[in-house]
Amino acid sequence: MRILVTGAAGFLGSHLSRYLLGKGHSVIGIDNFITGSIDNIQDLFKSQKFEFTKYDVTNYLHVPGKLDAVLHFASPASPIDYLKFPIPTLKVGALGTHKALGLAKEKKAIFMIASTSEVYGDPLINPQHEGYWGNVNPIGPRGVYDEAKRYAEALTMAYHRYHGMQVRLLRIFNTYGPNMRLKDGRAVPNFMTQALKGKPITVYGDGSQTRSLCYVSDLIDGIYRLLISKENGPVNIGNPHEVSLLELAESVKRLTGSKSKIVFRPLPEDDPKVRRPDITKAKKILKWQPRIGLEEGLKKTIAYYKPRV
């Protein structure tokens, strides 16, 4: 296939582009580097099947030649990013999705939207299944990301229903691994950089809020399985193993051999108290489930961060 990946220089976009090239596909990458990095894709330029353009996907989007799939992964994705870039976050979810859908429609290509577990907000049920409508504050500081993704889902399903397009609606749960920025702001990179530097490890609230962490290679495998499936509705991809943030901080401290102290800070506004995917649908339709345990994944990620801290 010839596949367009928006956000190709980001954490997930770079891993996805590399995986697709490894499967023998041709990849056209687009990124404006608002949060992505050329370092993440430097090795891909060796491949004759990889093309890249620095571009903002909220503008008119044209790609010459045939396309078999458009994978829309462009967006700031961590709280510090979408608090720093609130309007670009809304624009890439709304205008960017609209432009990418228009291109996929023109090329008669499959369209995949990289949505998020954040569409469930601060959930009132645990685990979260695809039929749950969520509990989102549309005007809170996280609303720029949550509502951008909810709108992107609505627009994607409208194109599916009205134009008969093949779409893939991917709801990504917390993911970690190499290529995550040291200053990404999410729990794993925060804890690791603090632990490796011997600085206090900051846990927000009392640390009892939970996350379910999926190692990036497992997630990418699930994404590819969804792409080549026939499923047009939303599918959760994530690891259902749930840990508290305090437990995660303690694990990182132990695995790095750090002498850092764990300190507590006030919980940010609208921070989800629980996050755990129900992956029944992914198991049934995609025959997918994660294989890498938390400890193994954390060790791999620490090995990536150590020389970079």
Which among 167, 146, 143 is positioned nearest to 155, based on CA atoms?
167
Number of domains in the chain: 2
Instruction: Give domain status of residue 20, yes or no.
Output: yes
Does one domain contain both 268 and 282? no
Instruction: Give domain status of residue 181, yes or no.
Output: no
Does one domain contain both 230 and 99? yes
Does one domain contain both 204 and 75? no
Q: What is the domain extent for residue 304?
A: 187-210+242-276+292-308
120 in active site: no
Does one domain contain both 222 and 255? no
- For 13-39, how does the pLDDT look when each residue is reduced to its tens digit (9 = 90+)? 999 999 999 999 999 999 999 999 999
Q: What is the pLDDT along the chain (309 residues), one digit of tens a residue?
A: 999 999 999 999 999 999 999 999 999 999 999 999 999 999 999 999 999 999 999 999 999 999 999 999 999 999 899 899 999 999 999 999 999 999 999 999 999 999 999 999 999 999 999 999 999 999 999 999 999 999 999 999 999 999 999 999 999 999 999 999 988 889 999 999 999 999 999 999 899 999 999 999 999 999 999 999 999 999 999 999 999 999 999 999 999 999 999 999 998 877 888 999 999 999 999 999 999 999 999 999 999 999 998
Instruction: State the CATH number of the domain containing residue 99.
Output: 3.40.50.720
Instruction: State the CATH number of the domain containing residue 199.
Output: 3.90.25.10
Does one domain contain both 299 and 233? no
Does one domain contain both 110 and 169? yes
Instruction: Give domain status of residue 182, yes or no.
Output: no
Q: Which residue has the tokens 């939303």?
A: 234
Please give the helix or strand (H or E) that residue 158 lies within, else none. Answer: helix 143-163
Does one domain contain both 206 and 155? no
**Amino acid (one-letter) located at 172:** I
Does one domain contain both 236 and 296? no
Catalytic, out of 120, 145, 159, 215: 145
Asked if the bond preceding 88 is cis, omega within 30° of 0, the reply is no
- Compute the distance between CA of residue 250 and CA of residue 240 in angstroms, rounded to an integer: 20
Does one domain contain both 114 and 254? no
Does one domain contain both 110 and 196? no
Instruction: Give domain status of residue 25, yes or no.
Output: yes
Instruction: Give domain status of residue 192, yes or no.
Output: yes
Does one domain contain both 99 and 150? yes
Residue 111's contacts (CB-CB under 8 Å, 6 or more residues apart) are 69, 70, 72, 100, 101, 104, 105, 156, 159, 165, 166, 167, 168
Instruction: Give domain status of residue 115, yes or no.
Output: yes
Does one domain contain both 13 and 139? yes
